[in-house]
Chains A and B, each alone.
Chain A
Amino acid sequence: MSKLAFVQKNKIPPSPAPISEVGVIGWLKQNLFSSWFNTLLTLLSIYFLFIILKDFIPWAWGGHWDTKSLRECLDLNPDVACFSVLTARWKQLLFGLYPAEEYWRPTVTFILLIFSIIPILFPKFFRFFWFSIIYPGLAIWLLWGGSIWSVGIVYIGFFLGVLLFILLLRNITKNMVIAGISSILFVILFFIFFSNYLVKILDIIIPISLPPVESLKMGGFTLSLIVGITGIVASFPIGILLALGRQSNLPIIKMICVGFIEFIRGVPLITLLFVASVLLNYFLPPGTNFDIVLRVIIMVTLFSAAYMAEVIRGGLAGLPLGQHEASASLGLTYWQSQRLVIMPQALKISIPGIVNTFIGLFKDTTLVSIISLRDPVGLASTIRADQTWNGIYWELYVAIGLMFFVVCFGMSQYSQYLERKLKTDK
């Protein structure tokens, strides 16, 4: 009989893998030293890491934290970091020119922020979603101060609008469009004619207010977070609508969306920020006080919405036509099938791109320093202009970089978690 005719007659029980394939040594061998080329790369990498860290670690580790000025640092030991600048100015880096006795307000706002995003990030806590809805108003009130009712009235207005919408649908008309339009009209009329009086009345009955803080006082990492997070939250839905609009069969909608996306993408963000800071005042009627932070937020939002739209369009294009056909053939309407079938899949495909855009947006908030808002980078220049710290570079920028890194790395980690969680084909 030839050798080729070999067959296994008895069943072989499983045996443990050879030692060299498992454990630390096995891992090292497989991943770092599997061939001479791989070994060379490993050694080179170790060498580079060594060069970088050999100077950095002693510099950072031995750094001074409690001197009074850069001069004092240099006198003590010029070869180590002078983190004293952070000790002296960390409040400014975090809060900008926010009044010191009110620091608790941005702090509380930030802590509440964490609670407000948990229900969105983790479906397990979705029952606390109501807090995520209340939070934006609460944050605005805490940060800018004034009467609680000037923010609360917005919620009251929308609440009444929704209530009216539901009542209309229940009792009077079955037509969503009619009910929707009349509720929107009602809300608009409410804000034009009624809300001012209501705010005054409520102020008299239940006066709750905080000392107002103007926008120009906002600064530091607080400002980055305000602009970044509002931009992220607002640009996402706008991006989705733009992406859908770009695919629309209605030529006018399509044209508007394409025009908007191409225009915004073709212009540097800085230009838009200049428009926000300088030009808008020319166009607006004199005397209107259109908040500078709000203007910046709008520009940043539009900017990243255009990018978002393109990212999501990529996701939409990645879906097979069959998904549209299947949902249509089941009788789902256009919006139902977008919401229930198309978007969940398109967004899932686009998670890496979306998070990329978010991270980009967040880091781009540092550009506001150019229109002389005091974000951390802007403040760094202010601090360095001060006699005491004149000449300091690394310590400040390392600290600022670290603050941004923590937030961006967090976003990136969450996106990877989300991708793993949404994986349904394994």
Chain B
Amino acid sequence: MEKTKINITDEVAIHISEMNKWYGNFHVLRDINLEVMRGERIVVCGPSGSGKSTLIRCINRLEEHQKGRIIVDGTELTTDLKNIDKIRSEVGMVFQHFNLFPHLTTLENCTLAPIWVRETPAKEAQEIAMEMLEKVKIPEQANKYPGQLSGGQQQRVAIARSLCMKPRIMLFDEVTSALDPEMIKEVLDTMIQLAEDGMTMICVTHEMGFARQVADRVIFMDDGQIVEQNEPESFFNKPQSDRTKLFLSQILGH
């Protein structure tokens, strides 16, 4: 396939065009086109199985797309391993189930990648880590192991761990859905603060309050397609497609 040069200004953080992905014969993502500007906060929502996770996992190549192009921070995602490792170190990701490294302390979780990937001296890495742990408001847990922390604390450590790499883009995949209600707030507060600092963020979430408060744009996915996108105000008050209306009525209905 002929690769045409796409003109991308420095303002574009992520450029996705005509992207398709299949799991075997199952067409998960269909013709995705999406451009995310620097500093933009995007919330992705949609019914279960609609491909939200798959979409954001394609952005840091945890999943491989088969057609179309993804350009992250000026670097195109190809099979070239060098590019992939580079992009992964620029793009932070936080998972639903935290995925902290249980054999390392909170602090070690945060310094591991900076030391080995960025080759930051250990002392400096620790300083950065403490700074980030303070930002997520748990510096006092630095020497505990993940197994000794509550879910909300673990998730905040996971956010701090990503931040220690000084990423330019952050991906959040339903980071609050494994948490008890009282812990959801502490994690959301951390994310709101991050958004206020100007981080480029893509958040898959069903927290509509959060979407209203911080999102620049809400994207609605269904059946592997982007069905609708809009500013939160219009998205929630004047949804266009029937599928969006149905989804919103289910999620806000009670």
Contact = CB atoms under 8 A, between A and B. Distances in A.
B49 interface: no
A332 B103 contact: no
Interface of B: 60, 62, 85-86, 88-93, 95, 97-103, 112-113, 116-117, 145-148, 161-162, 165
A156 interface: no
A287 interface: no
Interface of A: 320, 322-323, 325-333, 336, 340-341, 344-345, 348, 422, 424-426
Given A336-B116, A424-B147, A425-B145, A329 B102 contact: no
Contacts of A325: 62, 95, 99
B95 A331 contact: no
Contact of A326 (B85, B100, B165): B100
B95 A326 contact: yes
B55 to A, nearest CB: 15
- Shortest beta-carbon contacts, A-B, top 4: A425-B147, A331-B89, A326-B99, A322-B99
Contact of B88 (A323, A328, A348): A328
Contacts of A348: 103
B113 A332 contact: yes
Contacts of A327: 101
A337 to B, nearest CB: 9
Nearest to B61: A328
10 contacts: A326-B100, A326-B101, A329-B91, A329-B162, A330-B165, A331-B113, A331-B117, A341-B101, A344-B103, A424-B102
A192 to B, nearest CB: 35
Nearest to B144: A424
A170 to B, nearest CB: 14
A83 B222 CA distance: 83
Interface centre among A320, A329, A340, A344 (most CB of B within 10 A): A329
Contacts of A329: 60, 62, 88, 91-93, 162
Contacts of B60: 329
Given A326-B99, A348-B103, A331 B147 contact: no
A425 B104 CA distance: 11
Contacts of A320: 97, 99
Contacts of B93: 326, 329
Given A322-B98, A424-B148, 10 more contacts: A320-B99, A325-B62, A325-B99, A329-B92, A330-B89, A330-B165, A331-B117, A340-B116, A348-B103, A425-B147
Nearest to A344: B103
A330 B99 contact: no
A426 B113 CA distance: 25
A341 B99 CA distance: 11
Contacts of A336: 116-117
Contacts of B95: 322, 325-326
A326 B91 CA distance: 12
A117 to B, nearest CB: 23
B88 A331 contact: yes
Nearest to B171: A329
A422 B102 CA distance: 11
A345 to B, nearest CB: 5
